[in-house]
């Protein structure tokens, strides 16, 4: 029973099909099929029901999946012991949304690299939802989220700091605007981040003021939103950490958010059942050291 066959089997389950697993692993689909056939021949039972284009685990496949995951994790653990304890090259896969990648992680990564220069770091950006799914599939070692406090049966969620939110206004907007008397000025646009997280709070607040958000402009980038606010295109809401410098420089005005309307936190997460490598454990330690200074 080869470990690559087990990895292929798990990938088919994670990705939802043979062809998607082939793309994910960089194999030809015939190779993926051959790996599964080798497992089924060795076990003497089918692992998948193939009904048309749908692929479903058999009852035996369901039971075998947990054992396959354990064997893959044990294999990774054995490899990592020899790599990290001897300070040979290892890889650490980290996921984070754009805002944390830019404003929270650079100094942490720099500190880690000084201590462990031979560790290869791969950064993945994405929405909090996508990153959670990547953690569950085993594609990431550690992920960071910027969202409301959540729990997940498969993931450990460690809250690092509450992130204050602010409504951002163009630099020459009325300085007397407040949350309680908030209204939208003529020709002022609503600039929105991707779905989820603090956007939900912002939209609910605007709707409570009778302001429709259906005609808002949606951006994938926090930096793009800031540039548009500064040039007077519209207003938005972002975590203070992403815009503090521009606010202090007078490039934007801001209205402090009321946390009773919703709060978000920087959260560090990893899979509960995934063995943590030496590199991952050391990275978590450095994150915690830096996070203690974020509240100040």
CA-to-CA separations, 30 to 5, 24, 61, 161, 285, in angstroms, rounded: 13, 14, 20, 48, 43
Coil, helix or strand for 60?
helix
Tell the residue number behind the tokens 């290869």, with chain if given: 120
> What is the mean predicted confidence (pLDDT) over 274-278?
82
Average pLDDT, the chain: 89
Helices (H), the chain: 3-15, 18-25, 29-43, 59-85, 98-103, 106-115, 128-137, 198-208, 222-230, 240-248, 278-291
Give the pLDDT confidence of 3-28 residue by residue, as tens digits. 899 999 999 998 888 988 999 888 99
CA-to-CA separations, 56 to 60, 65, 208, in angstroms, rounded: 11, 12, 46
- Residue 286: pLDDT band (50, 70, 90) is very high
Residues 40, 45, 48, CA angle at the centre, nearest 5°? 70
User: Per-residue pLDDT for 285 more than 70?
Assistant: yes
Whose CA is closest to 96, among 61, 64, 70, 123?
A: 123
> What is the mean predicted confidence (pLDDT) over 261-267?
93
Q: Where is mean pLDDT largest: 86-90, 148-152, 245-249?
A: 245-249
User: Per-residue pLDDT for 97 more than 60?
Assistant: yes
**What pLDDT is stored for residue 164 in this prediction?**
94
| Domain membership flag for residue 134 | yes
Cα Rg of the chain, angstroms: 23
- Residue 83: pLDDT band (50, 70, 90) is low
| Domain membership flag for residue 272 | yes
User: Per-residue pLDDT for 82 more than 70?
Assistant: no
> What is the mean predicted confidence (pLDDT) over 212-229?
88
Identify whether residues 216 and 240 lie together within a single domain.
Answer: yes
The CATH code of the domain that includes 52 is 1.10.10.10
Identify whether residues 246 and 270 lie together within a single domain.
Answer: no
Identify whether residues 154 and 269 lie together within a single domain.
Answer: yes
- Residue 243: pLDDT band (50, 70, 90) is very high
More confident residue, 253 or 183: 253
> Is the distance from CB of 214 to CB of 203 less than 8 angstroms?
no
> What is the mean predicted confidence (pLDDT) over 267-288?
91
User: Per-residue pLDDT for 234 more than 70?
Assistant: yes
Give the pLDDT confidence of 155-213 residue by residue, as tens digits. 999 999 999 999 999 998 887 888 988 888 878 899 998 877 788 999 999 999 988 88
Range of the domain at 18: 3-83
The residue from 83, 109, 138 where one domain ends is 83
| Domain membership flag for residue 7 | yes
- Residue 80: pLDDT band (50, 70, 90) is low
Identify whether residues 120 and 248 lie together within a single domain.
Answer: no
**What pLDDT is stored for residue 89 in this prediction?**
58
> Is the distance from CB of 294 to CB of 161 less than 8 angstroms?
yes
Identify whether residues 155 and 268 lie together within a single domain.
Answer: yes
Domain count, the chain: 3
| Domain membership flag for residue 283 | yes
Identify whether residues 150 and 273 lie together within a single domain.
Answer: yes
Whose CA is closest to 42, among 16, 71, 79, 5?
A: 5
Identify whether residues 197 and 114 lie together within a single domain.
Answer: no
Whose CA is closest to 155, among 145, 169, 164?
A: 145
| Domain membership flag for residue 228 | yes
**What pLDDT is stored for residue 78 in this prediction?**
74
User: Per-residue pLDDT for 86 more than 60?
Assistant: no
Identify whether residues 185 and 239 lie together within a single domain.
Answer: yes
Identify whether residues 195 and 274 lie together within a single domain.
Answer: no
The residue from 61, 83, 105 where one domain ends is 83
CA-to-CA separations, 39 to 44, 60, 72, 76, in angstroms, rounded: 8, 12, 15, 20
Whose CA is closest to 47, among 24, 18, 82, 88?
A: 18
User: Per-residue pLDDT for 275 more than 60?
Assistant: yes
CA-to-CA separations, 155 to 72, 106, 144, 148, 269, in angstroms, rounded: 18, 24, 12, 15, 7
Identify whether residues 14 and 43 lie together within a single domain.
Answer: yes
| Domain membership flag for residue 249 | yes
The CATH code of the domain that includes 94 is 3.40.190.10
Identify whether residues 106 and 252 lie together within a single domain.
Answer: no
**What pLDDT is stored for residue 88 in this prediction?**
47
- CA 153 to CA 155: how far, in whole Å? 6
Tell the residue number behind the tokens 């990774």, with chain if given: 76
The residue from 49, 65, 83 where one domain ends is 83
User: Per-residue pLDDT for 225 more than 70?
Assistant: yes
| Domain membership flag for residue 143 | yes
User: Per-residue pLDDT for 110 more than 90?
Assistant: yes
Give the pLDDT confidence of 118-168 residue by residue, as tens digits. 899 999 988 888 999 999 888 999 999 999 888 889 999 999 999 999 999
| Domain membership flag for residue 296 | no
Identify whether residues 104 and 65 lie together within a single domain.
Answer: no
């Amino acid at each position: 029973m080869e470990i690559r066959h087990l990895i292929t089997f798990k990938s088919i389950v994670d990705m939802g099909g043979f062809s998607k697993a082939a793309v994910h692993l960089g194999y030809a689909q015939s190779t993926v099929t051959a790996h599964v056939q080798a497992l089924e021949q060795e076990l003497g039972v089918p692992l998948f029901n193939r009904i048309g284009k749908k692929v479903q685990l058999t009852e035996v496949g369901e039971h075998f999946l947990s054992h396959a995951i354990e064997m893959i994790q044990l294999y990774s653990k054995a490899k990592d012991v020899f790599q990290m304890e001897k300070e040979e090259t290892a890889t650490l896969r980290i996921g984070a949304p754009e805002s944390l990648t830019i404003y929270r992680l650079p100094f942490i990564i720099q500190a880690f690299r000084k201590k462990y220069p031979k560790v290869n770091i791969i950064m993945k950006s994405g929405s909090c939802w996508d990153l959670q799914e990547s953690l569950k599939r085993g594609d990431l070692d550690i992920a960071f989220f910027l969202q409301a406090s959540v729990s997940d049966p498969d993931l450990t969620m460690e809250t690092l700091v509450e992130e204050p939110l602010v409504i951002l206004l163009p630099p020459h907007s009325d300085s007397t605007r407040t949350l309680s008397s908030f209204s939208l000025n003529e020709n002022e646009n609503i600039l929105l981040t991707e779905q989820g997280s603090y956007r939900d709070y912002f939209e609910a607040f605007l709707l409570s003021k009778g302001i429709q958000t259906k005609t808002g402009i949606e951006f994938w980038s926090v930096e793009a939103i800031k540039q548009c606010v500064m040039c007077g295109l519209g207003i938005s809401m972002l975590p203070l950490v992403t815009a503090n410098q521009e606010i202090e420089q007078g490039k934007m005005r801001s209205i402090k958010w009321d946390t009773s309307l919703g709060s978000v936190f920087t959260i560090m997460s990893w899979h509960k059942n995934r063995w943590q490598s030496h590199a991952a454990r050391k990275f978590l330690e450095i994150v915690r050291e830096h996070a203690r200074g974020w509240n100040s």
